[in-house]
Structure 1
Amino acid sequence: MSTLTRWNPFRTLSRFDPAPGGLDDLFRGMSLRPLLREFENAAVDMRMDVQEADKAYQVSVEVPGAKKEDIEISVEGSQVSIQAEVRGEEIREDHRQVHTERYAGRSTRSFTLPQEIDVEGCTAQYEDGILRLTLPKKANGAATRIAVD
């Protein structure tokens, strides 16, 4: 199975400093970091690991800050989609927001596996911010050896 790599073009830009070295203090107020941080934190980055066994795929997905009732999983053929909503904390009336980096909103992650999934046997568990899926392979999609007479 090939390795999946996610690319975020804003992550590399947020590390760009237009005035490195001695001019850093002079241009500190003009830094791109605060503006680009908004793009970098625009959604929950659902990182995942996929392992394949003979009869099923084991998928572990990081979904930080979500409650299990706010996670939706759909499987169609070999495509798997995960949607999660992270709800922000309410700000009390006698407080004001000074700074925030934590994400609140809806995120989606979809991926395609090499073989179709048996929807009836799928299971999902969510604990400590990790969603664990067991996705059994469909029997008719399995490779079969044919003896030559």
Structure 2
Amino acid sequence: MNQVTRWDPFENLFKDFRGLVLQPVDLAGNPDVPALKVDVKEDKDAYTVHADLPGVAKDDIHVNIEGAVVSISAEKKRTVENKEGERVLRSERHYGKVSRSFQLGQDIDEAKAQARFADGVLELTLPKKVAASSRKLTIQ
């Protein structure tokens, strides 16, 4: 028995468009640069963030905390060494700026926050701010 398949001319158009629009883009607009990938974990006292930043120097990483919003930005600088008689056939290593911001469920205690960078991975330990206790006012 033959099966009838319905052809939708817009199905592939949408898939192609979605692939173009949803690609990661760095701040310089280069769609080939991978996005800043992060893992965020939570326990009762703090959040732990791991961000992959391979090839980035520690001095070129900036972390900003405002309440519950964490912003990470980094810049990988291009180093070019051209030797006489040498030509580049292909260059796939990326350089440029990348940034990422995300909001956590609770405000961060900026004074106790810690950051470490080793082997291309940024690790942030972000203690949760102790919630101020509320009190009920009596009306006189």
Deviation of residue 102 (structure 1)? 1.2
- Residue 50 of structure 2: aligned partner: 60
Deviation at 1:50, TM superposition (A): 0.6
TM-score, length of structure 1 as denominator length: 0.66
Matching residue's letter, 2:120:
G
Structure 2 residue 139 is the aligned partner of structure 1 residue 129: no
Quote the Cα distance in structure 2 between the aligned partners of 1:60 and 1:106.
18
**AA matched with 1:110:** S
TM-score for both structures, normalised by structure 2: 0.70
Partner residue, 1:76: 66
Can you give the 5+ residue segments of structure 1 that lack an aligned partner in the other structure? 1-7, 14-37, 145-149
In structure 2, distance between residues paired with 1:53 and 1:45: 26
Unaligned runs of 5+ in 2: 1-17, 24-28, 135-140
Q: Is the 1:115–1:141 contact (alpha carbons within 8 Å) kept by the matching residues of 2? A: no
Q: Where does 1:22-33 land on structure 2 (aligned, <5 Å)? A: none
Aligned counterparts, 1:3-22, within 5 A: 9-10=19-20
* Alpha-carbon contact 1:47-1:61 (below 8 Å) kept: yes
Specify the alignment match of 1:91 in structure 2. 81
> Which runs of structure 1 show a deviation greater than 3 angstroms over 4 or more consecutive aligned residues?
8-13
Shift of the 132–79 alpha-carbon distance from structure 1 to 2, 3 Å rule, reads same
**Identity of aligned pairs, percent?**
35
52 and 81 in structure 1: CA distance in 2 versus 1, 3 angstrom threshold: same
How far apart are the structure 1 equivalents of 2:42 and 2:118? Answer: 21
Structure with the larger RCO, 1 or 2 (CA within 8 Å, 6+ apart): 2
Check conservation: 1:11, 1:40, Cα contact below 8 A: no
CA contact under 8 A between 1:67 and 1:86: conserved in structure 2? yes
Q: C-alpha separation between the residues in 2 aligned to 1:39 and 1:106?
A: 10
- Structure with bigger gyration radius: 2
Q: Please state how far the C-alpha of 1:100 moved relative to its aligned partner.
A: 1.3
Q: Quote the residue 1:27 is aligned against.
A: none
Q: Quick one: distance in 1 between partners of 2:88 and 2:47?
A: 43
Q: Partner of 1:117 in structure 2? A: 108
Number of aligned residues: 111
- From the two aligned structures, give the one with the greater helix fraction: 1
Give CA-to-partner distance per residue, 1:91-121, whole Å, 9 cap, x none: 3152332211211111111111011101001
